[in-house]
Structure 1
Amino acid sequence: MNDMRITELRRLRGWTQERLAEESGVAARTVQRIEGGNDGSLESLSAIARALGVPVRDLFAETDAAVLQPEVRGHDERAAVEQERRDAFRRAWRYLFSGTGVGVSILTVVLISAHVWPGVAVLVVGAYWAGGALVGRFVMSTVIEPWLDRRYPLSRAWPSA
């Protein structure tokens, strides 16, 4: 592969190999191998670049597009596309939750106004929004985010709220 600048970028931040491994989520041995001149997977390089706050192409000593291997060329564009798809999925999930909540709220008000349900049924609205938010976060963190990680490996999750 090409000469790497990972060691230089890591040292500029005052990080050890272990710290870079921790920040990037790759094994310390992987960092050691890549810094030692061995090839790294595109996913590992992407995670390291993200931790260092640089595009993948900046990990290479020579960033002329003609010199970089084909899988590295265009990495930033692929990562941007994957990130947009991941973000769109998460927005759709939130729109689904909000739209369903608005529907539940309107239906509850209509049924109470028509005297089909007693007034205390308004608690259904609060239960949906509070309980749905908790269940939604649980499903997002335990099911959806891991699936998105596998489907879009060059993207990253939104920070937890």
Structure 2
Amino acid sequence: MNKSLVSELRKKRFLTQENLADEAHVTVRTIQRIEAGEEVSKETLKCVSNALGVTVNELFESVESKEKEVEIMELSQEQELQINYRKNEMFAIRLFSIGVIFFILTFFAKFISTVPSINYREIYGIIWVSILVLSIAFLKYFLSVFISKYLDKKYPLTVGIKSFKSVKKNKDFT
């Protein structure tokens, strides 16, 4: 029998078995099986780990079957790899987007500095600040809605993981 940490992780997040089952898109009976240490599919483990915001190997304290241990470790390593790729890709997209906004606003600022009338400069300055704020808001919306959906499809093992910063390294089962 496998020693599962799902119950502890679930309780730390103040979730009932029903809540976790809803978030992981599995049945309550499946959650009960995992908590009891019974065998479940890799897909189910992926869904539960994503709902709890941990890697697959963090769901277990120990695994008796060597084959299952290898399977869990491989899935966990693939999940961590996808998390790192996703973080890097999201960083690159953010950096590029901020660069584009900065580039456009720099040209607009240069235009403002050439306007002869001070009154028009003040008006254009207010418009510049408004464009800056709206650009940041639009970028945040665009990244959270469209880019996140794209990255969910590209990196399916990362779907549902709330924070990509707190992923721990693989641990050996004892």
User: What TM-score comes out, normalization by structure 1 length?
Assistant: 0.70
1:26 matched to 2:25? The reply is: yes
C-alpha distance in 1 between matches for 2:126 and 2:103:
15
For residues 71 and 154 of structure 1, what CA distance do their matches in structure 2 show? Answer: 15
- 8 Å contact 1:112–1:121 — kept in the other structure? yes
1:39 aligns with 2:37: no
Secondary structure, counterpart of 2:128 in structure 1: helix
- Matched residue, 2:87: 87
The 8 Å contact of residues 21 and 28 in structure 1, kept in 2 or not, is answered as yes
Aligned counterparts of 2:9 and 2:110: Cα–Cα separation in 1? 63
Q: CA deviation at 1:59?
A: 2.9
Q: Tell me how far 1:152 sits from its aligned partner.
A: 1.0
* 8 Å Cα contact 2:45-2:56 kept in structure 1: no
Cα distance in 2 for partners of 1:54, 1:112 equals 51
Counterpart of 1:5 in structure 2 is 3
Cα drift, residue 124 of structure 1: 3.8
User: Mind listing any 5+ residue stretches in structure 1 that lack a counterpart?
Assistant: none
CA contact under 8 A between 2:82 and 2:155: conserved in structure 1?
Answer: yes
- Once the two structures are superposed, residues 10-33 of structure 1 have per-residue CA deviations (whole angstroms, 9 ceiling, x without a partner) of 1686564214324x5332344256
Task: Could you list the structure 1 runs, at least 4 aligned residues long, displaced by more than 6 angstroms after superposition.
Answer: none
CA distance in 1, matches of 2:155, 2:106: 36
Structure 2 alignment gaps of length 5 or more: 165-174
| Aligned equivalent of 1:151, options 149, 154, 161 | 154
In structure 2, how many angstroms separate the alpha carbons of the residues matched to 1:16 and 1:75?
26
Structure with the higher fraction of residues in helix conformation: 2
- Aligned equivalents of 1:19, 1:80: Cα separation in 2: 25
TM-score with structure 2 length normalisation? 0.66
The amino acid of 2:7's aligned partner reads: R
The match for 2:125 is 122
What's the counterpart of residue 106 of structure 1? 106
| AA in 1 matched with 2:40 | D
The structural deviation recorded for 1:62 is: 2.1
Size of the alignment, in residue pairs? Answer: 153
Cα separation, 1, equivalents of 2:102 and 2:148: 25
Equivalent pair of 2:55/2:79 in contact (CA under 8 Å) = no
- % of aligned pairs identical? 18
Q: Which amino acid aligns with 1:5?
A: K
CA contact (8 A) 1:10 1:52 kept: no
* Cα separation, 2, equivalents of 1:11 and 1:114: 64
Q: Following TM superposition, by how much is the alpha carbon of 1:127 offset from its aligned partner in structure 2, in angstroms?
A: 2.5
Look up the equivalent residue of 2:109 and give its one-letter code. Answer: V
- Of the two structures, which has the highest relative contact order with CA contacts closer than 8 Å and spacing of 6 or more? 2
Cα RMSD for the two superposed structures: 3.4
Map 1:134-145 → 2, pairs under 5 A: 134-145=137-148
The residue matched to 2:67 in structure 1 has which SS?
A: coil
Give the Å deviation of 1:79.
1.5
Which amino acid counterpart does residue 109 of structure 1 have in structure 2? A
